[in-house]
């Protein structure tokens, strides 16, 4: 039951899906919330893949319309919560100020020019990758699209626990304090289960998943090294920016796979 409530906490905090009741926010439930980050991502990914399949197979609309629908779903389903973090972190990063000033900039509710420009580039790149993937769509593509948010949420969870917080307060710190050394053990179990399912039913998915694992691991190692030097540690905004950046890079990976491995 705590696992299910932990997943509901994720849906309540990180999506626009209405959860019309109050959920417990004690350490036990928040720890289960962290454990179910990848499941939240998988739910999101299944929704994106289903929307794409529906537009391509059950409507007369163009590929461009289908791409826009998937692109828009990624914004609406999350309520823009991670995009807000991307803009705030971009404003702070491109200010080229010291760590303390960057944290101050991220706390400012106003959005600067760098935040606006960076989110335009981010969303434009995502749309490009989505559209060109759809142009080269394969049956296996739907499964890999469903995996994209799964791996971005794994990166989110690992960064949350493995990078020191920049502040003593905030939502990220609240989640981090609820975790323990065994919290992340379930993440590789999820991956192994999905690899086994892929091996049984759709072996072509395995190679795509292995590429996603490699890219996600590289992103984590890079961000673990750089976040502390850039911002003095992890914040909620930096975590949200990491999710958005990871997901776009995974879309790029899928785009490249369609060009060079699945074309």
Residue 170 has a pLDDT of: 66
- Phi then psi for 180, rounded to 5 degrees? -140, 180
CA–CA separation, 30 and 113 (whole Å)? 35
**Whole-number average pLDDT of the chain:** 91
Which ranges of the chain would DSSP assign to H, the alpha helix?
A: 2-14, 27-35, 37-58, 63-78, 81-93, 99-107, 113-135, 139-162, 171-178, 186-201, 204-231, 236-260
List all residues 6 or more positions away from 112 whose beta carbon is below 8 Å from its beta carbon.
Answer: 91, 105
| Alpha carbon distances (Å) from 73 to 16, 33, 58, 145 | 11, 23, 17, 13
Instruction: Say if residues 34 and 183 touch (Cβ distance below 8 Å).
Output: yes
CA–CA separation, 127 and 130 (whole Å)? 5
Residue 263 has a pLDDT of: 60
- Phi then psi for 96, rounded to 5 degrees? 55, 40
Taking only Cα atoms into account, the Rg of the chain, rounded to an integer number of angstroms, comes to 18
Half-sphere exposure of 121 (CA within 13 A, CB side): 11
Across 51-69, b (16+ Cβ under 10 Å) vs e yields bbbebbeeeeeeeeebbbb
- Dig out the tokens for 104 from the structure: 């101050």
Residue 192 has a pLDDT of: 95
pLDDT along the chain (263 residues), means of 10: 85 88 84 94 97 97 97 94 92 84 84 92 98 95 96 96 82 76 92 91 87 97 92 90 97 95 72
Secondary structure (3-state) at 16 = coil
Closest CA to 219 of 202, 203, 243, 196: 243
- Phi then psi for 68, rounded to 5 degrees? -65, -40
- Write down the domain spans for the chain: 27-258
Q: Which residues pair with 234 in a beta bridge?
A: 165
């Amino acid at each position: 039951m705590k696992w299910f409530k932990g997943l509901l906490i994720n849906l309540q905090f990180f999506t626009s899906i209405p959860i019309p009741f109050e959920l417990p926010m004690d350490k036990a439930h928040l720890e289960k919330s962290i454990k179910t980050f990848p499941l939240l991502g998988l739910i999101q990914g299944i929704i994106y893949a289903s929307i794409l399949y529906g537009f391509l197979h059950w409507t007369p609309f163009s590929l461009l319309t289908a791409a826009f629908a998937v692109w828009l779903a990624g914004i609406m389903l999350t309520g823009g919560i991670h995009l807000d973090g991307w803009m705030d972190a971009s404003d702070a990063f491109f200010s080229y100020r010291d760590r303390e000033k960057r944290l101050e900039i991220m706390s400012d509710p106003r959005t600067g020019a760098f935040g606006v420009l960076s989110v335009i580039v981010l969303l434009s790149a995502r749309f490009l990758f989505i559209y060109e993937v759809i142009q080269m769509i394969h049956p296996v593509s739907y499964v890999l699209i469903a995996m994209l948010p799964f791996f971005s949420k794994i990166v989110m969870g690992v960064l949350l626990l493995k990078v020191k917080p920049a502040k003593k307060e905030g939502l990220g710190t609240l989640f981090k304090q609820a975790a323990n050394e065994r919290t992340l053990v379930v993440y590789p179990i999820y991956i192994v289960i999905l690899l086994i399912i892929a091996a049984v039913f759709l072996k072509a998915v395995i190679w795509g998943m292995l590429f996603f694992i490699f890219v996600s691991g590289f992103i984590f190692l890079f961000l673990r090294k750089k976040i502390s030097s850039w911002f003095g540690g992890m914040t909620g905004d930096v975590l949200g920016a990491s999710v958005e950046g990871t997901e776009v890079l995974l879309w790029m990976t899928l785009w490249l796979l369609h060009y060079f491995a699945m074309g």
